[in-house]
Amino acid sequence: MLIEFKFRNFKSFKEETRFLMTSVLSFGEHIEKNIISINREFDLLKTAAIYGLNAGGKSNFVSAMSYMKAIVHDSFSNSLKKDEDKPNHDFQFKLNESTENAETMFEVSFLIQESIYRYGFEINKHEIIKEWLYKKIERENLLFHREGSEFQINKTAFKEGLKYKNDVNQNVLFISHLAQNNQDISRLIFFWFLNVNVLSGLTEANYFNYTAKLLQNDSRFKNWISLALKYMEIKNIEAGEEDGEIVTYHNRYDKNNFLINSIPFLINKKESQGTRKLIHILGPIYDTIRNGRILFIDEFDSRLHPNLTRKLLELFNEFNKRGAQLIFTGQDVSLLNKDLLRRDQIWFIDKDQFGVSALYSLSDFNAKTVRNTSAFDKKYLENKFGASSTIELSHKLIDFLAK
């Protein structure tokens, strides 16, 4: 389970940005539904919503986690590629000379069983500048710290690092190198990232195969999604003959509206974009909740009815028993509802005059601005929390239309 995500100098985020999935202990709302109790000095949230103006940086926030995961997963294999075949890691903040060529930092803290791990690194293009791993049960202990080619390794708690510290290249993460060599702790960290899924709600291209494969291989999922789609008069759903292909079945009637048979639709050709998105996204949602994973979705609510996104959010908040977590960006203010989300589950991203994005929580505001009984959506649209400015209908703007 995710506790904290930090990053710096990534796209529109110039300064260190800190995102928390820990609950505010003084908040008493939705404790039974929205909180994961972990028997520590803090509890964790099941869901978090991130709102902000267009081009404010919401997609960049989700991309930060996507890039961190990809670097951890592919660091070793990318080091074996020719320079021209390596992925582009040019993601520094480009609007300030102090950061345009500086390193980018990523760090996550997460819970595995009874242990809290804090893992991070600094990277510039493909060169690993720093890398670190800490473990905490009662108190935090260093497992390793790397700066350039210099390593500090805990000889008792991280013996696996001693054997390989002289073999790792400057463009390979130490944790990835060790995981490739089947070292226990490193594989644990490596596989935690495999349980983090990152999706775009604007295109199904990066996950439509996933849902098709679930339909093909998991009969429980096939039954579950059939129930979920029943309200849309979809009578059956199954994987098609081609990779990634999904087929829905709709009843066909005669002129007297008597049922004749059912006919198949290839969803990418016959179903609406909203139906396609719903079907494709239900695979990752099912997998995340059933297996206790973490799901980031950018533009979660695009092309979906507000009642539907509310129900999907309720799935995570109320019927999530295995510690799954959902973090999403969105625009649908109907989800900014005190009956659905706590103040510490709501975040905003705003951008200043210098093009710098900033992330902050609704829980940061004092009781004069917002209470647990406030209409969050109304106050947000009134720009009481920032991150919701829009086009100014000035006289000059209007005059251009008239002349």
Lowest mean pLDDT among 34-48, 213-227, 245-259, 384-398: 384-398
Residue 117, phi-psi category: left (phi > 0), alpha (psi -120 to 50), beta (remainder): beta
**Predicted confidence band at 156 (pLDDT cuts at 50, 70, 90)?**
very high
Distance from the first to the final alpha carbon of the chain: 58
Q: Which pLDDT band holds residue 203 (cuts at 50, 70, 90)? A: low
Q: Is the pLDDT of residue 333 over 60?
A: yes
Tell me how far apart the alpha carbons of residues 378 and 35 are, in angstroms, rounded to a whole number: 25
Does position 175 have pLDDT exceeding 90, yes or no?
yes
Helix (H, G, I), strand (E, B) or coil at 310: helix
- Residues 403 and 240: their CA atoms lie apart, in Å, by 56
- Top pLDDT among 52 and 397 is at 52
* Residue-range domains of the chain with CATH: 1-195+292-403 (3.40.50), 204-291 (no CATH)
**CB neighbours of 176 closer than 8 A, spacing ≥ 6?**
72, 73, 75, 76, 186, 190
User: What is the pLDDT at residue 313?
Assistant: 93
Indicate the helix (H) or strand (E) that contains 225.
helix 219-228
Contact predicate 287/319, CB 8 Å: no
Cβ burial of 289 (10 Å; 0-12, 13-18, 19+) is buried
pLDDT at 239 over 90: no
In angstroms, rounded to a whole number, what is the distance separating the alpha carbons of residues 396 and 403?
11
Whether residue 391 has pLDDT greater than 90: no
Do the bridges between strand 2-8 and strand 104-112 make them parallel or antiparallel, or are there none, so unpaired? antiparallel
Report the relative pairing of strands 35-36 and 44-45 from DSSP bridges: antiparallel
Tell me the H-state helices in 325-386: 376-381
Residue 395, helix vs strand vs coil: helix
Q: Tokens 């100014």 label which residue?
A: 392
pLDDT of residue 403: 67
Give 130's pLDDT tier (boundaries 50, 70, 90): very high
The pTM for the full model equals 0.91
Dist CA 272 CA 278 (whole Å)? 10
**Does the pLDDT at position 206 exceed 70?**
no
* CB 199 within 8 Å of CB 207: yes
Exposed (0-12), middle (13-18) or buried (19+): which is 85, by Cβ within 10 Å? exposed
Mean pLDDT of the chain: 89
Token readout for 173 is: 């993460």
Provide the token pair at 364.
């940061």
Residue 146 has pLDDT above 90, yes or no: yes
The size of the chain, in residues, is 403
- CA atoms within 13 A of residue 278's CA, in its CB half-sphere: 24
Region 260-275 average pLDDT: 84
Question: Looking at this protein, which amino acid is placed at residue 137?
Answer: I
Residue 60 has pLDDT above 70, yes or no: yes
